[in-house]
Amino acid sequence: MLPEQLHHHPSAVALGEFDPEAITGGKCDRGELTLEIEPARIVAVCRYLKATRRFNRLSSVTAVDRYPMEPRFEVVYHLHSLERNERIRLKCRAGGESPEIDSVTPVWRGADWYEREVFDLFGIRFRNHPNLTRILMPEDWQGHPLRKDFPTHGHKYGYQGE
Amino acid sequence: MSDQTTPAEPDAQPAVEPPPETEASTRRMIINMGPQHPSTHGVLRVLLDLNGETIARARPDIGYLHTGIEKQCEDLNWQQVVTLTDRVDYLANLSNNLCYALAVEKLLGLEIPPKGQWMRVLLAELTRIGSHAVWLGTHAMDVGALTVFFYTFREREELLKIFEMFSGQRLMTSYIRPGGLALEPPRGWEKVVRKFVQEMPGHIDEYENLLTHNPIFLERTRGVSRVPVAEMLDLGITGPLIRAAGIPWDARKDEPYSSYEKFDFKVPTRQGNDIYARYLVRMEEMRESTRICRQALDGMPEGDWKADAPKVVLPDREKMKTQMEALIYHFKIVSEGFRVPEGEVYQVVESPRGELAYYIVSDGGTKPYRFFMRTPSFANIQALPALLEGGLIADAIAAMGSLDFVLGDCDR
């Protein structure tokens, strides 16, 4: 359901009309609109926003680790409409032993590397991704560095004292 | 220079005819370009599948410069993070400083006095000139015009001296900080910057004399490496590349920050959508940047250059010696760091390479909870196959040069 405070946001209202079940929450903080989306519907929501609301550019895909909360990951999408100069942030929760979410590469090709980066650094798998391999870390790297339970100094070479 | 007209934009047909299918041309060959290839200006590896002379497929391989900056940011105080933002895009460090400062100020709800904002605009535009100068020199060198490099690095040297004058550092300036600037602008800075800004248009004329009508340069760049506009947007390309394809999107105009709305400047666009159009767009951007700098010099507001926020901004050295509170705040900021209210922001600025955005999540503590950098080079290198595929291998270097990527910016 669309929260009360977002009833004057045309994009949020339109999305609420398109699929009332898709929005699980949201806020408008410091002038930035955030919508929480049901993870199973993310591709349909993105497709709708691109086709109908003209969000023709995907600025980035990233994730936030809320460890030890469960589901621990937030996958964050930043969409941008060049015509209306409007930005919107979508968030999906992912968690469990092997976190998974559908890939949005069929909607924007540019999501490819961003999703690979999230996979590489957070270990979230993207279903239907054309080439889900590590992108920044070496291919034989163990673990996912941006997880909060991964020490900044690493496991192998880092400072072992204290 | 000014009495000559710019050559007409080339017509829309692709300049490269696909070679005829012979036995030799159908044999596939894979070439490994990089990671130490000089024309990548960093460490980037590109695997090229060749069909004769034509590139059938290009696969960029990145990560050689990955230093885990995002992870390190989560481990540093808010004011320590500034030093890492320099190291992301080392040719546009002040744009990165600015993006970070604006993001933190948005989280804090902090307003910067006009002089601070104008100084930031001035420095960001000088950075743009410097970055484009390095791009121009190296790009021209890649396509065979060695002389330009010496001209552009002469101006870059002047710029680095200016940055050193301001911050004490040539490259890793860390000069724009949350809450204002790191130090008071030095005595006599106006004279030095004004001299540079006055001389710069003449220097840009010199570059244009060397390249704009140079037959070899035209031959190498016109009609090469075209990508359909829709594909560019789909791939997330930003910056001079989409402006050379006719889309006038520029964060400085469309999502103004740091008083850019008070400046009079044009967003240069071209319709050519080839390497030559990208060159023309960047040349005009340098001219526009000098215009912005001149306006900033002429209209520089009076007043303070940092915000009146003792809990965030380090106090004056003099005050610390005489006032108890100043000493306490200094101790708190330096030891524990300041706290930033809970929340998240996505701050966009126009870096010389395109849309630079920092997504910062704060949990109310003294360190960023999550720090994501949406860097223009990452998205632009992702689009590299679109620029290369179908073209000739000899054009690959020119096409890569026209992207103007920085590998530190890409790998973080």
pLDDT tens-digit profile of B170-195? 888 889 999 888 888 898 899 999 99
CB contact under 8 A, A32 and B383: no
Nearest Cβ partner of B359 from A62, A134, A150?
A62
* B 63-102 → A contacts, CB under 8 A: 63, 66, 68, 70-72, 74-75
Nearest Cβ partner of B71 from A34, A56, A145?
A145
Give the pLDDT band (50/70/90) at residue B23. Answer: low
Nearest Cβ partner of A113 from B344, B357, B382?
B382
Which chain B positions have a beta carbon within 8 Å of A56's beta carbon? 233-234
| Amino acid letter, B81 | V
CA nearest A58 in B: which residue?
Answer: B236
CB contact under 8 A, B359 and A137: no
Give the pLDDT band (50/70/90) at residue B10. Answer: very low
Nearest Cβ partner of A146 from B70, B106, B411?
B70
pLDDT mean over B154-170:
91
Residue B61 has pLDDT above 70, yes or no: yes
CB contact under 8 A, B355 and A59: yes
B261-278 pLDDT, tens digit per residue, is 899 999 999 988 889 999
Q: What is the pLDDT along chain A (162 residues), one digit of tens a residue?
A: 677 777 778 888 888 788 888 888 888 888 888 989 988 889 998 999 898 888 888 999 999 998 888 888 999 999 999 888 889 999 999 888 889 999 999 999 989 999 999 999 999 999 999 989 989 888 888 888 898 888 887 766 544 444
- What is the number of CB-based contacts under 8 A between chain A and chain B? 87
Residue B361 has pLDDT above 90, yes or no: yes
Check residue B337 and give its pLDDT. Answer: 86
C-alpha closest to that of B49 among B38, B60, B35: B60
Check residues B115 and B15 and name the one with the higher pLDDT: B115
Which residue matches tokens 């934009």? B9
Check residue A82 and give its pLDDT. Answer: 87
Residue B186: DSSP 8-state: P
B212-248 pLDDT, tens digit per residue, is 888 888 888 888 888 888 888 889 899 999 999 988 9
Check residue B295 and give its pLDDT. Answer: 92
CB contact under 8 A, B346 and A32: yes
Q: CA–CA separation, B194 vs B191, rounded Å?
A: 5
CB contact under 8 A, B344 and A146: no
CA nearest B355 in A: which residue?
Answer: A59
Residue B16 has pLDDT above 60, yes or no: no
pLDDT mean over B82-89:
90
Q: CA–CA separation, B198 vs B189, rounded Å?
A: 14
Q: Which of B45, B47, B66, B360 would you mutate first to test chain A, the one with the most A CBs within 10 A? A: B66
Q: Is B411 on the interface with A (CB under 8 A)?
A: yes
Which chain B positions have a beta carbon within 8 Å of A108's beta carbon? 234, 236
Residue B1 has pLDDT above 50, yes or no: no
B284-300 pLDDT, tens digit per residue, is 999 999 999 999 999 88
Check residue B25 and give its pLDDT. Answer: 53
Q: Which of A47, A50, A59, A150 would you mutate first to test chain B, the one with the most B CBs within 10 A? A: A59
CATH homologous superfamily of domain A4-127?
Answer: NADH:ubiquinone oxidoreductase Nqo5 subunit (3.30.460.80)
pLDDT mean over B110-114:
90
Check residue B293 and give its pLDDT. Answer: 92
Q: CA–CA separation, B370 vs B75, rounded Å?
A: 10
CA angle B249, B95, A82 (to 5 degrees): 15
Percent with pLDDT over 90 in chain B = 37
Nearest Cβ partner of B234 from A87, A109, A138?
A109
CB contact under 8 A, B345 and A108: no
Nearest Cβ partner of A82 from B231, B247, B378?
B247
Give the pLDDT band (50/70/90) at residue B129. Answer: very high
Residue-range domain boundaries for chain A: 4-127
CB contact under 8 A, A135 and B345: no
| Amino acid letter, B19 | P
Q: Find the radius of gyration of the CA atoms of chain A.
A: 17
* pTM (two decimals): 0.89
CB contact under 8 A, B75 and A138: no
Tell me if residue A90 falls in helix, strand or coil.
strand
Check residue B180 and give its pLDDT. Answer: 87
CA angle B333, B339, B340 (to 5 degrees): 135
Nearest Cβ partner of B233 from A57, A89, A136?
A57
Check residue A61 and give its pLDDT. Answer: 93
Residues of chain A with a CB closer than 8 angstroms to some CB in chain B: 29-30, 32, 34, 56-60, 62, 64-65, 76, 78, 82, 85, 87, 89, 108-110, 112-113, 121, 134-138, 145-146, 150, 152
C-alpha closest to that of B82 among B304, B280, B333, B285: B333
Q: Is B369 on the interface with A (CB under 8 A)?
A: yes
Q: Which of B44, B45, B71, B369 would you mutate first to test chain A, the one with the most A CBs within 10 A? A: B71
Residue B202 has pLDDT above 70, yes or no: yes
CB contact under 8 A, A82 and B233: yes
CA nearest B44 in A: which residue?
Answer: A136
- H helical segments located in B222-375: 229-235, 240-243, 251-254, 275-298, 317-322, 324-335
Check residue A28 and give its pLDDT. Answer: 83
Print burial letters for B144-172: b (CB count within 10 Å at least 16), e (below 16). Answer: ebeebbebbbebbebbbebbeebbeeeeb
Residue-range domain boundaries for chain B: 28-61, 69-411
Q: Which of B233, B253, B387 would you mutate first to test chain A, the one with the most A CBs within 10 A? A: B233
CB contact under 8 A, A135 and B62: yes
Q: What's the start-to-end Cα distance of chain B, in Å?
A: 40
Check residue B282 and give its pLDDT. Answer: 93
Give the pLDDT band (50/70/90) at residue B18. Answer: low
Which chain A positions have a beta carbon within 8 Å of B380's beta carbon? none
B69-411 folds as Cytochrome-c3 Hydrogenase; chain B (1.10.645)
